[in-house]
Structure 1
Amino acid sequence: MTGPAQTDRPMRILQIGTQFGVGGIARHVIDLTHWLRGAGHTVHFAGEPGALLDASKDDQFHALPLAGVSALGGSVPARIRNLLRCVPRLRRLIRAHPVDVIHCHESAPALVTSLAVIGTGIPVVVTYHGSEPERIRSFGRICRLGAEVVVTPSHLCAGQLHEIGRIPADRLRVVGLGVKPAPETDAEEVAALRRDLLGADGELLVLSLSRASYQKGLDILIEVAMEVARHRGDIRFVVAGAGPLLENLRAAARAKGAERHVRFIGATHRPYLHLLASDIYLLTSRWEALPISIVEAFRAGVPVIASDTGGVRELVDTDVGAVVPVGDVAACASEILRLAGDPGLRAAMAAAAFERSREDRFTPDFIHRQFEKLYRDLAAKRTG
């Protein structure tokens, strides 16, 4: 029989991500882990080391070359070879550090874990953070293979996982995004950054916190900036984020003569500093689940213009910004110009965005307790 002492006992949890470079998924996993540790649980990480996390930053981090299993791994034979290398490594890690629950983020960790836990009885949670629409079916196959529960932050994505991915509804959970409030920031530092990013003749700053990848649609952002520049020459676009396409995007901006209007500044470890220096937040992604960066923009009181993908409409409406069709340069530019030309509207949207950020669905303590309960239920079921 399981008594109160067992029910409330600290758990041992393994969080597995493909990569821990700069990005919303990595920040989500790290924030969740810190909260769980603060609640008394033992939490280990596994995945590809990156700018945000490696063994030098956390002694419970274990390197696992999962990027080679993902689409970044190249050809299918190469990815299969990497998969066969990762599975026994993960099994050894689990033996050395026994766990009650494993939480995987994205499909590569889910695939490796589903094979590594065979015969162990360890329950597996997988979070769907979004993917190309054509990959939903294969994601569903992976999850049906080895996941007790599949989590997504978006109700729309949950529906897609059920209808397209064929994941049973009773194995799906919608859990929102726990995003920390903006930290205290020196006003003069923010003002200095704004002056630097605007340059000598910029008046209004549009920011995107985006990894330089095809998913984020930053080639679309360049086209938007050029269209906006046809009407106003004082609006500056800044993209903060590293990624495999960073130099290609910089070269594309130069080739199109857009470098005066668009700057790709690379990675930042202080996203809120840049958000607080901005007037509008822009997301041009081709696909998402529920973008953490939008909630961070709300936390900073910044209106949002975003492409209509995943659960973006669950975050953004006309009170806090605008949603435009994916890839629609004209519509995106029109919304930016509309907000740029109406300071009163921007101020009202900024206030509404900040107020929305205070809802429970974005509060870390509220969200992280839901994950803790999910882990407890799975661990108790295993024990039973």
Structure 2
Amino acid sequence: MSQLRTVQVLGGGAGSSAHVSSLAAGLVARGVQVTVCAPAGSRAHGLPAPGARYVAVPRRSDPAAVAALRTACAGADIVHAHGLHAAVRAGIALSGRGTPLVVTWHTRARAEGARGRLLRLLERRAARAAAVVLGTSWDLVDRARRRGARDARLAPAAIPALRFPGASDDGKTRAELGAVGRPLLVSVAQHGHDTLLDAARGWSVLDPVPLLAVVGEGPRSGALRRRIAAEGLPVVLAGGPDEVGELLAAADLAVVAGGGEGGPLLAQEALRLGIPLVAARADGLPELVGDAAELVPQGDAEALAGAVVRLLGDPGRRERLAESGRAQAAGWPSEDDTIAHVLSVYDELAQPPAAARA
């Protein structure tokens, strides 16, 4: 039988980038030929994986970008797109070809008005173009089915534990951030940052005032900086996704305020490390964390601030959450489980051409 050839199409989100890096490495180790098509900046998330071919393809949907993706997908047995916009581009690039398209939805995009209608249209287009839609939570599986997916399945995506130097005993990370003698909270730049900053204003009445370190550079960082400076908030921007593990290891609490791929990534690493988590009920997080986090309504800054204040004042509750988090993380699928599941989907879809080549 010929070697299975796959193309992984990535939009560039932090969570899906880490997942694709892990998936590509695992597939290569199992004898699969892998090409990763992703924006150039995705290299910061562990791409390209060893043994995989990397092709920089803009995240745009203009003819030139789609043509580049179409060329990269030539000869593939399976194309696997990660995220809504990557799925739409891959569907366009594969139009007229018989190549099966697998789509993984990692998070749910949210918008109102005209943008919301556009997102629903894109979701329908992505769902109907796919032979199989894999959702990382039941909420996403149900959404794909409502949008017309022929075959939608649950496929929790294992994300590898972040690699970072161990937290130093002398509190070097906390000292560099200015968090000596005060609580350190770690969050991630994502949709919902206004709620996060509103909450930071709420917990600034504490003594000492907690410092919030927000990880992630991107289109939202400019707005974050402007508001932090204008209001004098106890918040610092603390680098990119590669720093998440080290910052969490030094943190007292992790906070996820809104939607987007960075939230589940932060939540998973916090629970693995035993860092108490306060999170909005968004993007499958309740399903992911179970009872191992304080969950609050999405968009409710008062509830978010209140949960943080209560936890900072209750060491016993923080310790119980830390223990529950480690136990919850131990039950998540491993990278091997995830790769085996994805391979089974590929084998199912590639069976007719594979049989013909045998």
**TM-score for both structures, normalised by structure 2:** 0.88
Residue 17 (structure 2) pairs with residue 26 (structure 1): yes
CA deviation profile, 1:252-287 (whole Å, cap 9, x unmatched): 0111121xx211122141321111111111001145
Correspondence for 1:107:
84
Matched, 1:197 2:190: no
1:333 and 1:242, CA in 2 relative to 1: closer, same or farther beyond 3 A? same
Correspondent of 2:186 among 207, 219, 237: 207
Classify 1:59/1:370 alpha carbon distance in 2 versus 1 (closer, same or farther; 3 Å): closer
Give, in angstroms, the shift of residue 47 of structure 1.
2.1
**Residues 192 and 305 from structure 1, CA distance in 2 versus in 1: closer, same or farther, beyond 3 angstroms?**
same
| Corresponding position of 2:101 | 124
| Superposition RMSD in Å | 2.5
- Does the 8 Å contact 2:19/2:160 carry over to 1? no
Task: Provide Cα deviations, 1:90-130, integer angstroms capped at 9, x if missing partner.
Answer: 232233xx221100112332222223223431110011122
Secondary structure of the structure 1 residue equivalent to 2:149: coil
Q: Structure 2 regions of 5+ residues with no counterpart?
A: none
Distance (whole Å) between structure 2 residues aligned to residue 114 and residue 181 of structure 1? 31
Structure 1 residue 334 corresponds to structure 2 residue 306:
yes
* Matching residue of 2:205: 230
* 2:214 aligned residue: 239
Note if contact 1:103-1:126 (Cα within 8 Å) is conserved in structure 2: yes
Q: 1:16 matched to which residue of 2?
A: 9
Deviations, residues 282-338 of structure 1 (Å, cap 9, x unaligned): 001145698222111111111211111131110234x42211111111111111111
Percent sequence identity over aligned pairs:
26
| 1:150 is aligned to 2:133 | yes
**How many residue pairs get matched?**
347
Indicate how the Cα distance of structure 1 residues 118 and 187 shifts in structure 2: closer, same or farther if over 3 A, else same. closer
Q: Is the 8 A contact 2:100 2:130 kept in 1?
A: yes
User: What is residue 74 of structure 1 aligned with on the other side?
Assistant: none
Match of 2:155 in 1: 175
- Taking a change above 3 Å as real, the CA distance of residues 56 and 332 of structure 1, as seen in their structure-2 partners, is closer
- Alpha-carbon offset, residue 370 of structure 1: 0.6
Would you say the 8 A contact 1:128–1:289 is kept in 2? Answer: no
CA deviation after TM superposition for structure 1 residue 200, in Å: 4.2
- Counterparts of residues 1-384 of structure 1 (less than 5 Å): 6=1, 10-19=3-12, 23-50=14-41, 51-52=44-45, 60-66=53-59, 68-69=60-61, 82=62, 84-95=63-74, 98-129=75-106, 130-132=108-110, 134=116, 137-163=120-146, 165-168=147-150, 171-181=151-161, 183=163, 185-188=165-168, 191-202=171-182, 204-208=183-187, 210=188, 212-213=189-190, 215=191, 217-258=192-233, 261-286=234-259, 291-317=264-290, 319-359=291-331, 361-383=332-354
Letter aligned with residue 115 of structure 1: I
User: Structure 2: which amino acid aligns with 1:367?
Assistant: T
Q: TM-score, normalised by structure 1?
A: 0.83
